[in-house]
Amino acid sequence: MRYGAKGARARVQWGTIFLVLPALIASYDGQTDEIIKKGQTLKLEQCIAIALERLPAILAARATSEADKSLIRQAEANYFPQIDWSSAFGRTSVGPRTSYGFKTSSITYNSYSTGLNLSQDVFDFGKTPTQVRIQRLNYSASVSDIETATQQAVFNVKQDYYGVLQAKRSTDVVEDAVKQYQLHLDQAKGQYEVGLSPKYDVTKAEVDLGNAKVNLIKARNAVKLALATLNNAMGVTGTLEYDVEDNMSFEPYGVSFEDALAQAYKNRPDLTSLIAKRQAAESSITLAKKGFFPVLSGSASYDYAGNAFPLAKGWSLGLSLDVPIFNGFLTTAQVAQARANLNVIRANEESLRQSVYLAVEQAYLNLKQAEELVPVDELNVTAAQENFDIANGSYKEGVGDPIQVADASTALISAKIAYIEALYECKVARAALEQAMGLR
């Protein structure tokens, strides 16, 4: 069988569909698409980019904004004429009638009509412009809401990203501790075998090693939990077999409280959104007052109508003025409602301003505390390392106490964990301050 050009083109199109369809189904499933490949090392910026592309909260905010944008076009529709075409068919039966002594027989007839109708608001005392302004302000608020959701997502990713680094660094400390306790056990066994140490030293070293192995199991599981939390922050499900770039170095954040607060009042999208909503509420009062004013509108039609073909044609032009006289105080109540809504938004705006001040103040104080703790904890690690080296060296020479070695090792581990936690808190505190300032 031979195919023409259209047939060949159709075969290619259907072939393409059958090839692409399985891939589309797989990607829709959400589990088989490899957003993060196994063994991949992600940077913080990559994690944030994944979150901004996939998080349902951001997608919902964007969809809400699109819906608000369409309301602007709906409000602007009143600027344009409304045109429609209508057609009708009817069949009427009239029974026998007697009038002035004359009797008529029954009659049945058809009626037909079709025509074009046009209507246009000529002047409505600013109702339409006010409605458009309200919808534009609501759309502006929804755009700010997208940024609010975005900044929250960025903070969550940063917090969980550094949580992974904290867990991984802590695991490294525990792994070193296991190696050190294993070495201490070997030393204790060697000294016990030559009679330089009692059996207690061996038993104590075995207990310390066992506890370290238990802590290592917990630390490794903490890494998996941290990765799972980061996955959730990115809107990803699936693999935990990837790594993140370690950028948890200490770097002071040079910003004053006054500058941070000024940027917050200027940049916070939730505050910007509420200001736009307040302006929309102010315009809503104006719109409600428009109910006291008349509306002037025009109309035109051109139609064909009759009981038989050909139909007779006709046309009409007209103006109408609708003047509200009394509607049961409806407009008055609508104005009162709009004013009450405005008062609610004004109160919410002031409450948010106070919350912004508190958020900036708390984040700033937490950051300054974290920045002060980092160098102190770093010095503690150095001191604990020196103390451990002294105790361990004495034990190797056969003059040290195993309890002192164990205590020094525990102190060193605690100091390292505290230093890692200080770095983590410094990074998270900076991210929290940036979010409070309205920055990503």
d(CA 67, CA 262): 32
CB-CB neighbours of 188 under 10 Å: 25
pLDDT of 238: 78
pLDDT of 400: 66
Tokens of 243: 């790594």
CATH number of 38-82+123-295+326-436: 1.20.1600.10
CA torsion through residues 192, 194, 195, 196, sign = negative
Going by C-beta distance under 8 Å and a sequence separation of 6 or more, which residues neighbour residue 422? 370, 373, 374, 377
Place of tokens 């057609």: 87
Rg over alpha carbons for the chain, rounded to the nearest Å, is 39
Tokens of 331: 């407009």
Chain segment 150-205, per-residue pLDDT in tens: 999 999 999 999 999 999 999 999 998 898 888 888 877 887 777 777 788 788 88
**Torsion angle, alpha carbons of 264, 266, 269, 275, to 10:** 120
pLDDT of 399: 65
d(CA 289, CA 297): 19
pLDDT of 398: 66
Place of tokens 């503690």: 380
pTM for the predicted model, two decimal places = 0.78
Report cis status (omega within 30 of 0) of the bond before 310.
yes
Low-confidence stretches of the chain (pLDDT beneath 50): 1-32
Mark out the alpha helices in 30-91 (DSSP H runs): 44-54, 56-76
d(CA 13, CA 9): 6
Instruction: Decide if 316 contacts 300 (C-beta within 8 A).
Output: yes
Cα distances (Å, whole numbers) of residue 70 to 63, 65, 121, 136, 278: 11, 9, 21, 10, 20
Helix (H, G, I), strand (E, B), or coil: what is residue 306? strand
Chain segment 29-77, per-residue pLDDT in tens: 444 356 888 888 899 999 999 999 989 999 999 999 999 999 999 999 9
